[in-house]
Structure 1
Amino acid sequence: MSIYKKFAMIILLLFSFTFIHVQVSSAADFNVKIESPTKNSFFNVGNVVTIKAKALFLKGTNTKRLAIYIDGKTQKNWSVDNTDSIEIKVPVTSGLKHFIKVNAWDGKNVASDGLEFYTRETSTLTKIDSPSGQGYLNTDDKKVAKIEGIIKDNGKPAPNAILFVNKGTSNELKFVANQEGKFVGKVGLGNHTFTPAIHKYNRLLIDEATKISISSNKDIFASFDIPETKLPVLYVPGIMGSSTTVPTLFSPYPTLSQTIGTPQSELKAILPDDVISLKNAVENRGVYQLEEVPYDWRFSVKDIWKQYLMPKIRKYTQASGRHYTKVDVIAHSMGGLVTRAYIQSEEYANDIDKFAMVGTPNSGAPIVYIIWNSGNCKLVDHLKFGDKMADPIPGMFSFSKTMEELYYTMTRTQMSINEPQKREQTKKFAYNFVKGLGDLNPSPDYKFILNSKSSTDGNVYTGNTFLKELNNQNTIKLLYSKQEGDISKIRTKLFVTDTESTVNNVIVNSYGNAEGGVKKANGDDTVVAEYAKKPFEINGSNIISVSASNFGKHGNMIGNSNLQNEVKKFLDNGRF
């Protein structure tokens, strides 16, 4: 076994755990559905779009409210009595893509539905019919030129393709092609940029802009052919899964800069053997390109997605050249919580299509509590790796050694983490300088604490505020994956190992300090499978897809061939 494999058994050992507190409706049939318009409809700017929605409230519900939002702005918010429907008419504004959201509220729970629709500029344009398709002509004067043509997708006509004229400026126009990829329109004389875009893989593929100078009103024919472009897939590792150096036999632990905020350019995802095999497996078909998203795991989860994940996503989705408007994400351990926190934030830009969570502890992890509450890294090593790790030998990874080295890096002071008198100092160090660790504490609903003198529940833990907020029912439904064809939904799947013995409870003494771990359950040796899935179980069923199998131990799941095959199937589903 290579040093990377040895290191893999532990490097990512604990961490990407998170809980999820889900407040559920009392019955499965409380829902709301947008009846009009249909998804992906096109409307001319200035026209009126009728939005209709209907809610199914439970019998005896006294409070009934329905609200409609367009692009996050409230359009209508009212109480309903005898009818459970809502209908409004609103003028179509400029902008290519708009998002409609409808919420139904019964006084306790919220049900939501959403869809996207598209607009096309008309201004003073008059609709015409042409042998080359439908489009718009300006009828003002002779200071315009007619342009018609075709947009292709790798040599084949692209239905409903879009030609942007002067994209991103106040003079932007959009021409929507017919089912044969043909368009026709008129533009003024002068200098213009033409940017074609096609619908592909549940997102737009926007091509590079072409500059054209039009000096006369003669007819212009334009042909655009957008070549096959690989889909970006981002890999987000877990806590301790990023390092400034590659671990070696003599230094088997991740390293970071002395000050918090290591630049992403200086970091790499560790366990290189596993990451390389994942990259090879994903890219084997020839349609995907995988890129790592390493980060400084001393930050809180919120800071990580803001400073590392979101900029990396927008590097792809807002590029100046040819680019897709969405990416796919494969996230291991805490990386899954980082990605979820971004998706469920107000800054989410609808720029993720498929999201694979691998070994993500969506209810937190009891062993994290041992460090956060007691500073006892030695006990964590013992529970994770047995008696042989109670006193780690030089050259072998341990959580104790990793914390010692991190402490030295930041303070330039040596400290033996495993000395009992140093545990309070260790706890304060983690609390002040490893915020991400605190976000992995168990959730409030995870009854994991047992009294040392009995097997009764001694749970006095108030819970993880971050996880409690993350698992709010109103935002967790953004991960809903059942509507495969709805581009406003993220297709999410959770992959968990359920074959390894995993600590499920922590024994505490009368002072609340951790003394041991008991009552092991099925998991991946760090994350209990049942609690990884639990936040997504609403009314007896999973709101996201789940695959539970023998995908290996927590630290090595990414390199497991069975896991890689299942992730590839998930990415390919509905595309090929």
Structure 2
Amino acid sequence: MLPVVFLPGIFGSVPLLWGRWSFGPSIWYYKPIIQAMKDSGLTVEIAYYGWWENNLLSARKYLIPAIDRVLKSNKEDKVIIVCHSMGGIVARSYIQSDFYRGDVERIIMLCTPNEGSADAYYPWEGGQVPPSPYDDFVNMLYNGFIWMISRITGKPITYNLIREYIPSIKELLPTSDYGSYLFEYRDEDNFPVFIPQSTMHEKNDYLNDLNAKVEIIKRRGIDVFCFNGKGYYTNKYIQVDTETDRQEGLWIDGKPMAEIRSKMGDGTVLASSSRYVFDSITLNTSHMGVLKDGIPYLLKQLDVKKLPAVYAENIPFKGYLAYIIDKASSCKKLLRDCYDVLGRFEWGVMSDQSELLLEIPSPGRDMYLYTYNSNGSAQTDLKLRDVKAGCHRLVIKNVRGFKPIIEFK
């Protein structure tokens, strides 16, 4: 099997001392997929990169050396690139470039914004985190890294800070293929009017150019396959106010007032943007959840004959009856695949009374437990405060037509 080079997404590479790198806080999402590939007998080289830099620079500065390392150690002449989110733009930047060396057999992209993402509008034009109905892990990382950059540089957190130190975010803005995504209400007609991208000040010229030359991938004989996510409300259109005074370029294309969201996305990237013109599969999963949900499908794409166990690092279940999360969620509804910092949970069928063992790996966490009756219409929420580490017994009693009863010991 050809060796694999793995490219993480934005915020997924953290530089350490003496030239070393790590996934940083994202390790809880990336470690299972890396381990699954390695346990399948694949050689995996992680191409950490400076996600704050332009994607073309990242391809030359970080991706090429990673390819060289794994080819040298495996005595092969080609690699397979597996990439998540922005990592797919870095991979495309390389294989579509004039310095491509013919050393990539295929690319597998996981929720890459090939047509951009409306979420990028908020930090690029206003220095703000995009609004989300979820407790978004990517937004949490954004806040943390921006705070660090602000402290290191001594500059306030504004859109100018983003443009000076993270120019790559502009390369995530919606492309022409995405279509017009800003609209406003004019006069008294109370009718939305979309703003053509051609009239906007800030456009994604880089990705537009990359997409205009996408046919070069096929001419170079590189196979591309995409994993798309759906089932999570994703910002698709943004209502803006273009009459607001623009101070020094702030919200130069309009100040956001509201959003229109679609469930045909992973919470960050629309499935249509990820799919673009490539062969793909769409899973019911989130932007970070694809890193676990996609494992068996990814291994099949990599021609692995024997699939290893999917790794659930933090909380192993004996039975699948509920969801555990570590903070209040705004999505109190039936979720078939819920991901968070604690691990992976699936919906399962309850009998009249079911019992499972729940292992809590670390103490002192506030958690919520959600359970549902057989048709998902009656929900019971149980808040667990300052949970002790160890193995706990959970009994769920299902009474037909009523909310389930939870006993946590």
Both structures adopt the same fold (TM-score exceeding 0.5):
yes
Inter-partner Cα distance in structure 1 for 2:83 and 2:184: 35
Change beyond 3 A, Cα 1:516–1:234: farther
Return the offset for 1:408.
1.2
8 Å CA contact retained: 1:503, 1:517: no
Change in CA separation of 1:568 and 1:465 when aligned onto 2, cut-off 3 Å: same
Check whether the contact 1:374–1:513 (CA below 8 A) recurs between aligned residues: no
Q: Match for residue 70 of structure 1?
A: none
Following superposition of structure 1 onto structure 2, how do residues 195-214 of structure 1 map, counting pairs within 5 Å? none
**Which secondary structure does the structure 2 equivalent of 1:357 belong to?**
strand
In structure 1, distance between residues paired with 2:289 and 2:283: 14
Partner of 2:256: 515
* Residue deviations 1:116-166 (CA, integer Å, cap 9, x gap): xxxxxxxxxxxxxxxxxxxxxxxxxxxxxxxxxxxxxxxxxxxxxxxxxxx
DSSP-derived class of the 1:324 partner: coil
For 2:280, which of 540, 546, 553 is the aligned residue? Answer: 546
| 1:465 corresponds to which of 182, 187, 205 | 205
* One-letter code aligned to 1:432: E
- 1:527 equivalent to 2:269? Answer yes
Q: Which residue of 1 aligns with 2:32?
A: 277
Paired residue for 1:368, among 120, 126, 129? 120
SS at match of 2:224: strand
Instruction: Choose between structure 1 and 2: higher helix proportion.
Output: 2
User: Residue 314 of structure 1: CA displacement?
Assistant: 1.8
Change beyond 3 A, Cα 1:563–1:376: same
Paired residue for 2:5?
234
Q: Quick check: 1:268 aligned with 2:9?
A: no
Q: For the residues of structure 1 that align with 2:183 and 2:142, how far apart are their CA atoms?
A: 24
User: Is residue 456 from structure 1 mapped to residue 193 from structure 2 by the alignment?
Assistant: yes
Deviations 1:510-549 (A, max 9, x none): 2433323422111000001112223x1xxxxxxx321111
Separation (CA, whole Å) in 2 of partners of 1:299 and 1:235: 18
Rounded Cα–Cα distance in structure 1 between residues aligned with 2:274 and 2:205:
17
Amino acid at match of 1:244: P
- How big is each residue's C-alpha offset from its partner over 1:149-197, in whole Å with a ceiling of 9 and x where there is no partner? xxxxxxxxxxxxxxxxxxxxxxxxxxxxxxxxxxxxxxxxxxxxxxxxx
Structure 2 distance, partners of 1:507, 1:365, is: 15
Alignment of 1:385-464 (within 5 A): 385=133, 397=140, 399-409=142-152, 411-412=153-154, 415=156, 417=157, 426-445=158-177, 446-453=179-186, 454-459=191-196, 460-461=199-200, 463-464=203-204
Contact 2:227-2:275 within 8 A present in 1 as well? no
Provide the C-alpha distance between the structure 2 equivalents of 1:530 and 1:429, rounded to a whole number of angstroms: 31
In 1, Cα distance between equivalents of 2:302 and 2:205 = 32
Residue 241 of structure 2 contacts residue 257 of structure 2 at CA under 8 Å; is this kept in 1? no
Structure 1 residues 497, 322: closer, same or farther in 2, change over 3 A? closer
Runs (4 or more) in structure 1 with deviation over 4 Å come to 573-576
Question: What displacement does 1:352 show?
Answer: 0.9
Tell me, yes or no, if structure 1 residue 346 matches structure 2 residue 89: no
Residues 345-386 of structure 1: per-residue CA shift (max 9 Å, x gap): 011111111210000001111121122122233xx1xx2245
Seen in structure 2, the aligned counterparts of structure 1 residues 236 and 398 have a Cα distance that, compared at 3 Å, is: closer
Q: Aligned with 2:192: secondary structure?
A: coil
Aligned partner of 1:210 in structure 2 is: none
SS at structure 1 position matched to 2:172 = coil
Q: TM-score, normalised by structure 1?
A: 0.46
Q: Aligned partners of 1:333, 1:357: CA distance in 2, in Å? A: 7
2:296 matches 1:565: yes
- RMSD of aligned C-alpha atoms? 2.8
2:68 corresponding residue in structure 1: 314
Runs of 5+ unmatched residues, structure 1: 1-200, 202-230, 246-256, 258-262, 418-425, 482-487, 537-543
TM-score with structure 2 length normalisation?
0.64
8 Å Cα contact 2:234/2:270 also seen in 1: yes
Runs of 5+ unmatched residues, structure 2? 244-252, 308-409
Instruction: Tell me by how many angstroms 1:284 deviates.
Output: 2.5
Q: Is 1:452–1:510's contact at 8 Å kept on the other side of the alignment?
A: no
- Letter aligned with residue 304 of structure 1: S
Residues 242, 255 of structure 2: 8 Å contact kept: no
More strand by proportion, 1 or 2? 1
Aligned to 2:81: 329
The structure with more radius of gyration: 1
- Aligned in 2, Cα 1:575/1:399: closer, same or farther, shift over 3 Å? closer
Per-residue Cα deviation, 1:406-452 (whole angstroms, up to 9, x for no partner)? 2212x145x4x4xxxxxxxx111111111111111111242101115
Give the aligned partner of residue 135 of structure 1.
none
Query: What is the identity, as a one-letter code, of the residue corresponding to 2:296?
Result: N
Which amino acid in 2 is paired with 1:529?
A
Q: Give the 3-state SS of the residue equivalent to 2:83 in structure 1.
A: strand
For the 8 Å contact 2:84–2:112, the answer to whether it is kept is: yes
Deviation at 1:554, TM superposition (A): 0.9
Alignment partner of 2:82: what SS?
strand
> Residue 174 of structure 2 aligns to which amino acid in structure 1?
P
Q: How does 1:51-200 map to 2 (within 5 A)?
A: none
State how many pairs are aligned: 287
Task: Letter of the 1:406 partner, please give it.
Answer: I
Partner amino acid for 2:21? Answer: L
What is the distance in 1 between the residues matched to 2:39 and 2:113? 29
Q: Which amino acid aligns with 1:236?
A: L
Q: Which amino acid in structure 2 is aligned with residue 335 of structure 1? A: G
Aligned CA distance change for structure 1 residues 367 and 443 (closer, same or farther; 3 Å): same
Deviation at 1:266, TM superposition (A): 2.4
Q: Could you say which structure has the greater relative contact order, defined with CA pairs below 8 angstroms and 6 or more residues apart?
A: 1
Is this contact kept in 2: 1:342–1:348, CA < 8 A?
A: yes
Cα distance in structure 2, aligned partners of 1:565 and 1:268? 25
Tell me by how many angstroms 1:273 deviates: 2.7
Q: Which residue of 1 aligns with 2:132?
A: 384
Name the amino acid aligned to 1:500: Y
Match of 2:357 in 1: none
Aligned 8 A contact 1:268 1:292 in 2: no
